[in-house]
Amino acid sequence: MLFKELGLSAELLRAIDKKGYNEATPIQQQAIPLVLEGRDVLAGAQTGTGKTAGFTLPLLQHLQQSTENRRSVRALVLTPTRELAAQVGESVRDYGCYLPFKTAVIFGGVSINTQFAKLKKGVDVIVATPGRLLDHLQQGTINLSKIDILVLDEADRMLDMGFIRDIRKIFKYMPKERQTLLFSATFSDDIRRLAADLLNNPIEIQVATRNTTADRVKQLVLPVDKRRKRELLSHKIGAENWQQVLVFTRTKHGANRLAQQLTDDGIVSSAIHGNKSQAARTRALKEFKEGKVRVLVATDIAARGLDINRLPHVVNYELPNVPEDYIHRIGRTARAGLDGHAVSLVCVDELKLLQDIETLLKRKIDKEIIPGYEPDPRIKAEPIRMGRQRSGGTRSAGRNSSGGAQKKKRRGVPKNRGGQRQRAAGRQRRAG
């Protein structure tokens, strides 16, 4: 279906054409008409299928048709990470380039005073992470009383236990009569039930089977001993001439260490995680996109929202503790109809994590043992230590986005899946 068949305005169609798009993806075909009708929507689709445009385009058209005075905040998009907020903000500006609306992107790690100045001039759309948005709300620098449309992007994480308290606080600042949209690649049954409480008679869209990966991602598991993972990764990058590789680790310290080790091997690498300043994160991502950095080593802060054009390779140096995060990680490749390659280096300690991922996917992932890197069958599995890592976020007792006090975190290994999910959600909390 062509975009011009979806009832979008001439200004939006002109912006779409400027970006070089013509045909709408399945999620866009289903979501855009429903959002234009004013319906609440719970939408699930694989990563890289155009979910952002699926809510951004009808959101902007709603603002076009609104009779409210401009320069009052009428649309709010909440995201779990700074990088995703920045990306969504860019999409709103790109699709709204022929419209008079102003957008503010609000997240932590940067000066709040700069945000004050922009908000004073008046904005129509805010894209924000929860922690910094609450800072503004509590200081009275943002007024959400005129909100018509609310979007929760990557809603499974936004509505998980680590975020729900902040989300409910934010809801108190908004009118009850509003349109609410939840978009994500994955929805657990618990999150679906929770979402049902927040939406008004929603229509559910599920473009693909829940919790599936894109068909164009070629997935492969490379069994290898833990101590030889870095050696095998360097070998694969060099032997197969991988030029742009996004590598995921489980901890921030591990990301820093691996990036340095790869650089020592002659492979230019940078790390990106929640303990990095926002300037450092932005610079590392920019250099990676420009090809100045060959390998970007990341925690799960990069598993959601990073849209890297034509990214060919994703590597799970360590498997995630939460199976759904595997889908988001490898969803950074094979975007916009392109092919992608996802490799997981799996040691004996991670076999249970791999089993959980395969159970979620309802399929076995192909495995290949690389000659010279055969796992030692005498090595016994050991518990995976979580350390002090907070994947994707920063360690905080409160408003880390505005310099709040920090707490020490206790080490430990999740004992069950329920606790594991809550801990993982907590580690994402206030990533902004």
305 pLDDT higher than 60: no
Q: Give the other-Cβ count within 10 Å of 5's Cβ.
A: 11
Answer yes or no: do 302 and 251 share one domain. Answer: yes
Return the CATH number at 321: 3.40.50.300
Residue 342's pLDDT is: 92
Answer yes or no: do 197 and 240 share one domain. Answer: no
Category of 135 on φ-ψ map: left (φ > 0), alpha (ψ -120 to 50) or beta: alpha
350 pLDDT higher than 60: yes
Residue 410's pLDDT is: 35
CA atoms within 13 A on the CB side of 152: 30
More confident residue, 111 or 335: 111
Task: Classify burial at 286, counting beta carbons within 10 Å of its beta carbon; exposed 0-12, middle 13-18, buried 19 or more.
Answer: exposed
Q: Tokens in use for 222?
A: 């490379």
Answer yes or no: do 223 and 311 share one domain. Answer: yes
Q: 379 in a domain, yes or no?
A: no
Q: 410 in a domain, yes or no?
A: no
Last residue of a domain, one of 301, 330, 361: 361
Q: What is the mean pLDDT of residues 262-288?
A: 89
Q: 409 in a domain, yes or no?
A: no
Residue 285's pLDDT is: 87
Q: 222 in a domain, yes or no?
A: yes
249 pLDDT higher than 60: yes
Residue 238's pLDDT is: 93
Query: What mean pLDDT value characterizes the chain?
Result: 83
Answer yes or no: do 27 and 97 share one domain. Answer: yes
Answer yes or no: do 198 and 246 share one domain. Answer: no
Q: What is the mean pLDDT of residues 359-365?
A: 92
Residue 222's pLDDT is: 97
Q: 375 in a domain, yes or no?
A: no
Among 4-18, 165-179, 246-260, 373-387, whose mean pLDDT is lowest? Answer: 373-387
Q: 67 in a domain, yes or no?
A: yes
Answer yes or no: do 179 and 252 share one domain. Answer: no
Residue 47's pLDDT is: 62
Residue 406's pLDDT is: 34
List, as one string, the DSSP characters of 188-231: -HHHHHHHHHHSSSPEEEESS-TT---TTEEEEEEE--GGGHHH
- CA-angle at 230, arms to 362 and 325, nearest 5°: 30
Q: 232 in a domain, yes or no?
A: yes
Answer yes or no: do 191 and 275 share one domain. Answer: no
Answer yes or no: do 191 and 233 share one domain. Answer: no
Answer yes or no: do 13 and 143 share one domain. Answer: yes
* pLDDT tens digits for range 410-430: 333 344 444 544 444 444 444
Answer yes or no: do 288 and 221 share one domain. Answer: yes
Beta bridge mates, 301: none
* pLDDT confidence tier of residue 409, bands split at 50, 70 and 90: very low
Which residue segment(s) compose the domain that 224 sits in?
217-361
Last residue of a domain, one of 206, 238, 272: 206
Q: How many structural domains compose the chain? A: 2
Q: Tokens in use for 406?
A: 């920090």
329 pLDDT higher than 50: yes
Among 45-49, 79-83, 150-154, whose mean pLDDT is lowest? Answer: 45-49
* pLDDT confidence tier of residue 403, bands split at 50, 70 and 90: very low
* pLDDT tens digits for range 171-227: 999 999 999 999 876 676 766 776 777 888 889 888 755 555 556 789 999 999 999
Under DSSP, the state recorded for 343 is: E
Q: 372 in a domain, yes or no?
A: no
301 pLDDT higher than 90: no
* pLDDT tens digits for range 94-150: 999 999 999 999 998 888 999 999 999 999 999 999 999 999 999 999 999 999 999
Alpha-carbon distance of 32 to 45, in angstroms, equals 14
Last residue of a domain, one of 178, 206, 234: 206
* pLDDT confidence tier of residue 330, bands split at 50, 70 and 90: confident
Answer yes or no: do 13 and 102 share one domain. Answer: yes
List, as one string, the DSSP characters of 37-80: TT--EEEE--TTS-HHHHHHHHHHHHHHH--SPTTS--EEEE-S
Answer yes or no: do 221 and 316 share one domain. Answer: yes
Task: Classify burial at 253, counting beta carbons within 10 Å of its beta carbon; exposed 0-12, middle 13-18, buried 19 or more.
Answer: middle
Residue 279's pLDDT is: 84
